Amino acid sequence: MSYLNYIGGQWIGAASGATFEDTNPADERDLIGAFPDSGAADVAAAVSAVKAARPAWSAASPEVRADILFKAADIMSRRADEIAAELTREEGKTINEARNEARRIAANFRLYAGEALRLNGETYPSEAGQLVLSVRQPVGVVAVITPWNFPLSMAARKIAPALAAGNGVIFKPSEITPLMGQRLVEVLLEAGLPANLIALVQGRGPTVGQAITAEPGIDALTFTGSFAVGKQIAASLSTDTRCQLEMGGKNATVVLADADIAKAAAIIERGAFGLTGQACTGTSRVLVARPLYDALVEKLAGVAKAIKVGPGTADGVKMGPLATRGQYEKVLAYIEIAKSEGARIVTGGEALRESGDDALAHGYFVSPAVIADLPADSRLMREEIFGPVVAIRAIDSLDEAIALADETEYGLAVSLVTNDLNAVMRFTRETQHGIIKVNSPTTGVSLNAPFGGFKHSSNQAAKEQGGANVMDFYSRIKTVYLGA
């Protein structure tokens, strides 16, 4: 099946006529469809159309904007199971994981529908006979560039607040999950969003992304992806374009000596192997108190061996394939790096498409890996892998735990497993991470709480998610002095 861009209120192909193919990571023979391989001309047309439509939307009452987002939430709720099945086929996550994501979109739409009604300003004390107040106005045209690992939820938490604030949107989904981008736009249009207010531009990141950053009509850009790409985007944008970047993570779970082994293993399992390890907040390092080291390694190995890997819709499957051949090859390459460093592969890290199981023969399946006895300078302790691989290292003190948790260039999420309140207070105060979880996995966040990292995980321009704080990125403030 062939799909199209949505530009200027019409479903159209790329100006060049070029397309790219989207396939199922659980079975690379399964072609999902062909999508427009867009370029600079398509981006320019999209910006022109959205820019023309935006003033009327900005002038619409907050109730109008909120009503459309509430309707979009209702439509998404109704279509959640249908879209979840497509998400599993396109991205590979299990059907339960896909349903959770699809249903979360409705909650996102409802949250930001409410924020449309709360775009408040303030008043300030001033001299007699004068009133000083601030008012919020939309930024303008917002470019939204999203990753493939959460193609619905990442997009919704950017697009919904942008629309709630009165902006127009240029949406570029990942070329790995283009169908999810299309479905999200369809839901918004069905809800009554004005035809020209959003543009869907499909295509490859290096082409469409560069065209977006070079386009002078973009007033703000929000991106989630790798640090390398985020750095390129920041360098390419003009100085007057707002930029929000959420990038990688090398997240640790720290297990102190008083922790329960079974509880710690369950927390690590969800953080490391849920979503096939393809979450920016996923656990890829475990720092465990030395007295618990051997027991936790053994327990995690048992947990990993018990995980059934396969197509996301198959009965009993807890972990699906990696999303692309590139990710599959990258994970296997890191297993070889671990071996070359002298680490011990306790379990997993196997290319399951070569296992002889017909259900796995054409997909990007790797067994969940537990790796122990790593050297201090191991690449697996520093570099983002983005797969079901967890590296374990012993620690001898809370000081060492904090130092090692912070030693990478990233600072997104960290988890601490302990019952020691003093340790919790010190750890949360000192560690350089934007998200700190206590006795819970590094993955899983509340949609009404701020999201973002430190260091190379974010440019820290503005937090994603949350409530009113999110609207600071999507709106600008004017200060008005009213005299008699």
The residues that are catalytic are 246
Residue 147 and residue 155: Cα distance in Å, rounded?
8
- Tell how many helices (H) and how many strands (E) occur in the chain: 13, 23
Identity at 473, one-letter amino acid code: F
In this structure, which long-range contacts are made by residues 346-350, counting pairs with CB atoms below 8 Å and at least 24 apart in sequence? 346/297, 346/300, 346/301, 346/370, 346/371, 346/372, 347/301, 347/304, 347/305, 348/304, 348/305, 348/388, 348/389, 349/389
Residues 6 or more apart whose CB falls under 8 angstroms from that of 291 comprise 257
Nearest to 272 by CA among 294, 301, 292, 245: 301
* Residues 250 and 284: beta-carbon distance below 8 Å: yes
Which contacts qualify for 111-114: CB closer than 8 Å, 24 or more apart?
Answer: 111/160, 111/447, 111/448, 111/467, 112/69, 112/160, 112/161, 112/163, 112/164, 112/470, 113/65, 113/66, 113/67, 113/69, 113/70, 113/73, 113/160, 113/164, 114/66
Eight-state DSSP code of residue 49 = H
CA distance 307 to 301: 10
Strand 369-372 to 344-347 pairing: antiparallel
Cα 250 to Cα 386: distance, rounded to the nearest angstrom: 9
Structure tokens at 226: 């790798």
